[in-house]
């Protein structure tokens, strides 16, 4: 409504004798102009605070020009900025979806996957399914040529993370502290590398918290690496070794006050009661959450024989008469459950168009390629994550599923033969020797077929057909 229309409307509401007053008309015209300015201000306010009314931008505008528009300033309140090649209508839907996520919550798996789909500029809400403990999001993105690309992303809560602790120059008598930062008990993998100038005979590793000894009844050659795995064959430089691995407890059931080796390990001091734990199944001690302390040493021949008195001399002689424990390199590997962490797996073979470098671009993306995509995904995950939760992004390649089909049928052999030259039979095959030949003959027909008739008033007596 224009100021003149508003003034005329207000005059019509007055009595007739007041409508002719000149001063009243002037007052109402000033009021009409003021109301018109107020209405324009309210319109501008609503347009700048509502995503469907705010002035947008052109698709070819730079990200800076898009951020300066009314729609861009409105989206900046939620930390959202339009990227290059992003259309006005798609950005409005993007903003409306983000506001909707604020209402339902940002820390759930569907909300985080929807934030990821927004970074990829998906035109629809992702389809979310669960494969065990993994949340899977599927959506489609549009390519510059109009085609569509299917994208699959995965969200994993409290993932398994590999951990490693390495100690160089480990000597006997030292304690090596290892921290299992996971939530569950872990089974370690032990590696021992011998020095370059000496073999390591019958090494023993002790877990101080449980008091368990891990004994490798063999020799680790110089510069070689021994790998011990739980209930699996030990390896020396990747080659399986047949040497036994013993898991034993140093706590023995012996008589009180007996300190000599014979009474501790022999039959006289403690008959049929020697170890609280003795396992030859290549077992390893478990590492509970928190700190664990380990130590390294070797066994001499007498001590090894007291552990296993019934073993063959060949195994016992692997230990030295006087033990020698050179410095070695120790490494422990395990898998721990990372607390307060979630992982986003994205396809490594796809980069959205807005992160690609194009020929003739007037303004390149700030960080092109996968680094730019990872940066924006990290911002989106930090925007939606709970306090103290650490996001992590991993790359994955989705391979087609493989299926093995087993069927039972009878054995069948098929043979195909072919000849390079065609064999044509040109000579007839004749019988060899005496033969009887029969010929059937019929006499020649001597009878004739005849009849009489009239044709065109002329009578024919006979017509003969031979």
Are 122 and 86 in contact, with CB atoms under 8 Å apart?
A: no
Identify the pLDDT of residue 271: 45
80 backbone dihedrals φ, ψ, rounded to 5°: -110, 130
Tell me the per-residue pLDDT of 47-68, one tens digit each, with 9 for 90 and over: 556 666 676 777 777 777 777 7
CB hemisphere CA count around 122 (13 angstroms): 22
Identify the pLDDT of residue 296: 93
The H or E element spanning position 331 is strand 328-337
Whether the model pTM is above 0.85 = no
- Please report, for residues 122, 159, 228, 362, the alpha-carbon distance to residue 162 in angstroms, rounded to integers and kept in the order given: 33, 10, 17, 44
Strand boundaries in 132-194, DSSP class E = 134-142, 148-157, 160-170, 176-180, 189-193
- Please report, for residues 20, 218, 239, 439, the alpha-carbon distance to residue 314 in angstroms, rounded to integers and kept in the order given: 130, 10, 21, 99
d(CA 290, CA 69): 54
Identify the pLDDT of residue 294: 92
Strand partners, 193: 225, 329
Question: What token pair was written down for 208?
Answer: 């101080």
d(CA 234, CA 282): 8
pLDDT in tens, the chain (466 residues): 677 777 777 777 777 767 677 677 777 777 777 777 666 655 565 555 666 667 677 777 777 777 778 777 777 777 777 776 777 777 777 777 777 777 777 778 888 888 888 888 887 888 999 988 889 999 998 888 888 889 999 998 888 888 899 999 899 988 999 998 888 888 899 999 999 999 999 999 999 888 888 999 999 999 999 999 998 999 999 999 988 898 888 655 444 444 444 444 444 444 444 567 777 878 888 888 889 899 999 988 888 877 776 677 888 888 888 888 899 999 999 988 877 788 899 998 888 887 887 665 555 566 778 888 888 888 888 877 766 788 888 888 876 666 677 777 776 667 676 655 655 655 555 555 565 666 666 666 666 656 566 556 666 555 444 3
The H or E element spanning position 341 is strand 341-347
Dihedral angle sign, alpha carbons of residues 130, 136, 142, 143: negative
The H or E element spanning position 375 is helix 369-384
């Amino acid at each position: 409504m224009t100021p003149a229309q508003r003034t005329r409307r207000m005059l019509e509401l007055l009595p007739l004798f007041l409508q002719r007053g000149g001063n009243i008309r002037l007052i109402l015209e000033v009021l009409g102009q003021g109301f018109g300015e107020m209405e324009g201000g309210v319109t501008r306010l609503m347009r700048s605070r509502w995503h469907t009314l705010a002035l947008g931008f052109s698709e070819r505008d730079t990200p800076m020009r898009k951020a300066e528009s009314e729609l861009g300033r409105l989206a900046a309140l939620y930390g959202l900025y339009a990227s290059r090649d992003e259309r006005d209508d798609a950005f409005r839907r993007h903003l409306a979806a983000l506001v909707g996520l604020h209402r339902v919550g940002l820390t759930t798996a569907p909300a985080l996957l929807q934030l990821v789909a927004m970074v990829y500029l998906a035109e629809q809400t992702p389809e979310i399914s669960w494969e065990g403990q993994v949340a899977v999001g599927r959506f489609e993105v549009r390519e510059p040529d109009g085609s569509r690309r299917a994208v699959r992303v995965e969200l994993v809560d409290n993932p398994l993370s590999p951990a490693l602790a390495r100690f160089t120059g480990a000597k006997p008598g030292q304690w090596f502290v290892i921290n299992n930062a996971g939530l569950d008990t872990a089974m370690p993998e032990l590696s021992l590398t011998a020095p370059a100038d000496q073999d390591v005979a019958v090494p023993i590793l002790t877990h101080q918290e449980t008091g368990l000894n891990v004994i490798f009844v063999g020799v680790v050659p110089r510069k070689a690496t021994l790998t011990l795995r739980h209930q699996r064959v030990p390896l020396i430089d990747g080659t399986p070794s047949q040497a036994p691995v013993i898991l034993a407890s140093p706590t023995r059931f012996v008589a009180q006050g007996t300190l000599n080796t014979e009474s501790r390990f022999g039959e006289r001091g403690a008959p049929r009661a020697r170890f609280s734990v003795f396992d030859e199944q290549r077992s390893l001690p478990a590492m509970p959450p928190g700190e664990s302390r380990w130590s390294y040493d070797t066994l001499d021949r007498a001590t090894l024989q007291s552990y296993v008195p019934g073993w063959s001399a060949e195994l016992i002689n692997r230990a030295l008469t006087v033990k020698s424990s050179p410095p070695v390199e120790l490494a422990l590997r395990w898998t721990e459950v990372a607390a307060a962490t979630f992982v986003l797996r994205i396809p490594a073979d796809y980069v959205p168009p807005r992160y690609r470098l194009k020929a003739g671009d007037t303004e390149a993306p700030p960080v092109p390629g996968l680094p730019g995509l990872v940066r924006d995904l990290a911002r989106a995950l930090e925007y939606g994550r709970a306090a103290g939760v650490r996001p992590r992004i991993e790359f994955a390649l989705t391979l087609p599923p493989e299926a093995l089909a087993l069927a039972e049928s009878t054995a069948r052999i098929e043979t195909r033969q072919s000849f390079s030259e065609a064999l044509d039979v040109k000579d007839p095959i004749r019988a060899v020797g005496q033969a009887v030949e029969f010929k059937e003959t019929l006499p020649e027909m001597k009878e004739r077929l005849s009849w009489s008739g009239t044709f065109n008033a002329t009578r024919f007596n006979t017509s003969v057909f031979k």
